Chains A and B, each alone.
Chain A
Amino acid sequence: MSTVLSVKATSTDHKDLIHDVSYNFYGDRMATCSSDQHVKVWERDENEDWVVQSSWKAHSAVISRVIWAHPEFGHVLATCSFDRTAIVWEELVSVSAPGEVRNQWVMKHTFVDSRTSVSDVKFAPKHLGLYLATCSNDGTVRVYEAQDVMNLGLWSPVLEINIKMSCSSISWCSATRLPPLIAVGCDDPGPSQTGKVILYEISDGMRKYTLVDSVVSVTSPVQDVSFAPNLGRSVNLLAIASKDVTIVEFKCQGKDLANSGQTKFDQNLVAQFNDHKQTVWRLCWNVTGTTLASTGDDGCVRLWRSNYLRKWSCHSILKGDGSLIKQPGMETSSQAGSSSSSKESESRIQKARGKKDGMHN
């Protein structure tokens, strides 16, 4: 049966390409960041269209990532850029008169420790508190702690990890029953003993880090890593974007008492797909960790899912058709390829539309 795809187009008014889009926790707001050095925050209006709520120049170079903090901390965003900084922004709501609410995004803190471009910024899972991790092209991962959740201007560095390879992305593991765990993806083209994805466990009040595992089999540069949300699973899934899409499973095997009490993991390659046939740039999990979206140089978005026997496969491919949209903000629909409907049920539909039935089906 053919499917009708509903698409809503939003003309963003960014003056250059977008590098990242992030939905907030509820999916009712969106943040975009671009090569034009601007960040835009969007909300839905009564027609469910996206309208820009704020737009400002956030950095002095290309902004590579934008991410929302958990709503428990308020309306907070973090961005990182080629200008070697990462910044935390907070929305201030001022009520000048009843019904007159003004929103303004304010820079709360700028992290200037990096000596090279900051390639990724991620908030830690909220059960750890308000922490932020950044990674840079010079191979440094830094973790910062908010000293006062009511005053986001005060942050202090708690950890610095020096990896000898350029880093492209980081991901926090969200499992609440494990000690804090960060996966770092390295886009360094050189050789490496550990492979290009390294896992660090953080302990001692977020002050100490230990290398607990790495994905040795992934040796080509990694552009993105992402832990899947862990809902009721006993294993943690990590998706890796390099020359292909790789999904690795980590199962906690308890503490290695012989080795300073760090957690031991059982690592298992769950899936590896080179459908994109070229570099895979980005990965994105859905809220329950059951669907993975991948972005490749082949111009497609692929959606991956596992069947109930936990076998992963690609279920949809989305491709831009390069056509011009009719009007910004208007819904358009697109027919999928695929089979036609049953001949006989078709006639029933024709009947329903009031057309005269033909002499035969």
Chain B
Amino acid sequence: MAQPFGHFLHEKEENETEQLMFVPGQCCKGRPLHGVLSPKNSLAVHGLGDSSNSGEPSGYVGEVVINEVLFRKEYDCRVVRKLINEMSGVFLANQREPERPMTVDEILHYSRSYRAVIKLSIEETQRVLITHTGEEADHFEELMRSLVVSESAWSLAEIIFFQEPRGGELVGQLLLWLQAHINDCQVMLTELLRETHVESHHNYWPAILGCLLQGRLKDAVQLLQSANSLSQSWMNVIDCINKMPLYQTAYSTILDFEMRWQHWQEEVKGKLDQGAFCVKITQIALILVGDLETIRSTVDELSLSWYSYLLAVLLFRHPTARLQHVQDLLGECVSQGGGIESFDTHDHLILSILKRNMIDLMKYSSEGFNSWWFAAHFADVFHKAGYLHEKNSVGTNMRESLILDYGGTLMQHDGLWPVGARYLEHCPDLGIFHLQEYLTRVSLTSTKKALKVLNVCERHGFTQQAASICRVMAKREVNEDRLGSALTWCRHGKDGNMATIVAERFIEGYRQQTHTTTDVLDALGSTMLLMSKNLLFLAKLREFHQLCDLGNEKQACALLVNLISSRMAPSRYWFLLLVELLPMLETSRDLFSTSQIYELMNALCELQQTSSGQKGDVLDPGCVETLQLSLSRCLATAILHEPQVLMGITSE
């Protein structure tokens, strides 16, 4: 979603419109546009075929195109990724388990940490913007706007919601905010001071007036003093400006200050009436005495925003105003600025903050931006400060709702999912469910990645999801005939069913001599406990091979005979085991006792009897004959070595 979804609380107003976006490209005019949401932050869009015409070809001629809208393309940008990572660092450092409210200092520290990150990002984006052009530059410009606007709103919110300066200090704080964020006049000042004939530059008066309206008194004075000819009138006004009292709590009470300030304004007014100022300077003097008309016209002249106007009015008419008073002035300032219809996101944010309207503030934080990163973190700070705790009918609050969305978009990105997971972990109501779902959707492009995802699952005790991931990996390995690896995944996922399936496939391959045995058998060994009991005999088979390798052939044979006679293995596997013994039977060495041979012959007989009625496992007659022959020869040899048996036979 290029535009994040509103998390606003109030009823949608009539004049609100949804974001309309055009998807470029031939989307098959005349056909409905089919949209399919993907698990990876995108939407595939195409012209939908007509299913009402009984399946006849539509006769459509032309290119058939799928347009994929990429919602979070910015996540591929290095600057944005850095921002995301830094913000997540701040977020995680400030989550407390269990939740406890933060002190004012902690909140301010938290808030400022975010702002510091944004400022760094602004600098970085500035550097990058210079080197990019065209479309990429558009993306960076948009990022820049989000950063600048969000930092401005954030710092104002800090003043109004968290710092809450008392009466007289408010205007001073607001002025600092304005000066930090709207610094065109300072830019002009720097340029101007390099000029020789300052006062003839077209920016001269705009710069002076701009600085004045923002309370940059020293700058205004500096510009005035840099004029080549300083008439008396100029000296007068410079004097007035220098004498302007500025409120500082440490030095006086409000009452004291107000008296001094009134006195000063009267002084300036007096000089005005006396005609101590020439025409050009009069404007400045009028501003100093707080003449509303002049302030208004100057604001218009300089095309300043409504909040610049507000602050000018405060500075020169109500320097000790409290927030209530500021709020009373808002209506007038807004209409002076062109009315609310002309507002952009930044304006709305500033207005909501000054009005202390949480609802509007959250609404514009999420709607006006191309990314949720602002709204989610902003909401978290407010939440920690004790706001936004109301829960909806399913028990979530707005802060969680925003963080779930933001974390969700991160989880859908191949590189950022670990960051997203951390966010979801801090959503106490629904975070777990979303995390479970998203974890299973992370593309398992390599074993390393799968293990990483499994690690997170295990950390949270998500056994079902872990088992599912292991099964997917096991299935992949089976499909590509890597049975040993498949079994490793089965063991990891404690997946008995899959292990059984793999084992059976192994046995199938073993019979057809298409598998090398050892590595799979070893892997089998460790998964033995998971599998169907029918396959436990494979452990014995492995042991048999191990004994053979060690040269313990007699013991190995005894083992296998035991296995067959105990009927531990299902009958369909006996043949396999008998065939295993064939090489042993063929040797002339004394490896079997007569009773053992009898057991084997018995088993072979049973097999022959039962297999005739069964489909599938047809015994190879040539093989059977070979076995019978070998068994007989072996029996003969064994009898010769066992005198009592020989005696038993010959005595009959």
Q: Which A residues fall within an 8 A CB radius of B?
A: 1-23, 25-28, 30, 32, 34-36, 50, 61-62, 64, 71-75, 81-83, 93, 95, 117, 119, 126, 149-150, 229, 231-234, 281-282, 284-288, 290-291, 293-303, 305, 307-310, 313-325, 328, 331-334, 336-345, 347-349, 351-354, 357, 359-361
Contact A347–B396 (Cβ < 8 Å)? no
Interface size class for chain B?
Answer: 35 or more
In the complex, B139 has a CB within 8 A of chain A: yes
Q: Are B65 and A11 in contact (CB under 8 A)?
A: yes
A2-B126 Cα distance, complex, nearest whole Å: 19
Contacts of A303 in B (CB 8 A): 1, 5, 35, 43
Residues of B within 8 A of A62 (CB): 49, 51, 55-57
Q: Answer yes or no: B282 CB below 8 A from chain A CBs.
A: no
Q: Which stretch (B20-28, B566-574, B619-627, B641-649) binds chain A?
A: B20-28
B226 within 8 A of A: no
Contact between chains at A354 and B130 (CB < 8 Å): yes
> In this complex, what residue of B is CB-closest to A37?
B57
Report Cα–Cα, A152/B35, bound state, in Å: 31
For A75, the chain B residues whose CB sits under 8 A away are 479
**A308-B57 contact given A72-B468, A232-B432, A359-B202, CB 8 Å threshold:** no
Within 8 A of A (CB), among B40-79: 40, 42-51, 54-58, 60, 63-71, 73
B150 CB to nearest chain A CB (Å): 10
Chain B contacts for A296, CB-based, 8 A: 32
Q: Is the CB of B149 within 8 A of A17?
A: no
Q: Which residue of B lies closest to A342 (CB)?
A: B346
Q: Let me know if B25 and A324 touch, CB within 8 A.
A: yes
Q: When the two chains form their complex, are residues B29 and A320 in contact, meaning their CB atoms are under 8 A apart?
A: yes
The 9 closest A-B CB pairs, nearest first, are: A82-B55, A320-B27, A232-B433, A301-B35, A17-B49, A27-B40, A27-B39, A308-B401, A6-B73
Bound together, the chains give a CA A300 to CA B48 distance in angstroms of: 11
- The smallest beta-carbon distance between B526 and chain A, in angstroms, is 22
Quick check: is B466 within 8 A (CB to CB) of the other chain? no
Least Cβ–Cβ distance between A327 and chain B, in angstroms? 11
Inter-chain CA distance A262–B40, complex, in Å, is 38
B43 cross-chain contacts in A, Cβ below 8 A:
293, 301, 303, 318
With beta carbons under 8 angstroms apart, the residue of A50, A319, A324 that contacts B26 is A324
Please give the distance in Å from B464's CB to the nearest CB on chain A. 9
CB distance from A244 to the nearest CB of B (A): 14
Given contacts A3-B142, A320-B33, contact A73 B475 (CB under 8 A): yes
- Cα A134 to Cα B176 with chains together (Å): 67
**Which of these binds chain A: B7-15, B261-269, B318-326?**
B7-15
Given contacts A30-B44, A307-B9, A315-B5, whether A325 and B51 have CB atoms under 8 Å apart is: no
> Nearest residue in B to A19 (C-beta to C-beta)?
B49
**Other-chain contact of B441, A25, A72, A291, A314 (Cβ < 8 Å):** A25
B18 contacts A315, CB within 8 Å? yes
Q: Is the CB of B46 within 8 A of A18?
A: yes
B residues neighboring A (CB under 8 Å): 1-3, 5-9, 12, 18-40, 42-51, 54-58, 60, 63-71, 73, 125-126, 129-130, 135, 137-139, 141-142, 144-146, 148-149, 152, 181-182, 184, 187-188, 202-203, 206, 302-305, 308, 343-347, 368-370, 392-394, 396-398, 401, 405, 408, 412, 429-430, 432-434, 436-438, 440-444, 468, 471-472, 475-476, 478-481, 501, 505
Contacts of A282 in B (CB 8 A): 32, 34-35, 48
Check if A19 sits within 8 Å of B48, measured CB to CB.
yes
User: Contact at B5–A16, with CB atoms within 8 Å?
Assistant: no
Measured CA separation A332–B35 after assembly (Å): 18
Q: A287-B39, A295-B32 are in contact. Are A347 and B184 (CB under 8 A)?
A: yes
The reply to whether B393 and A310 contact each other, CB–CB distance below 8 Å, is yes
Question: For residue B369, which residue of chain A has the nearest CB?
Answer: A1
CA distance A3 to B501 in the complex (A): 52
**Would you call A18 and B66 a contact (CB within 8 A)?**
yes
Q: How far is the CA of A3 from the CA of B393 in the complex (A)?
A: 33
Min CB distance A168 to B, Å, is 8
> What are 18 A-B interface contacts by the 8 Å CB criterion?
A7-B25, A11-B63, A16-B57, A74-B476, A295-B32, A298-B32, A300-B33, A307-B5, A308-B9, A309-B392, A320-B45, A325-B67, A340-B344, A341-B345, A342-B346, A349-B148, A352-B125, A352-B129
Q: B77 CB to closest chain A CB, in angstroms?
A: 11
Q: Determine whether the beta carbon of B65 is less than 8 Å from that of A71.
A: no
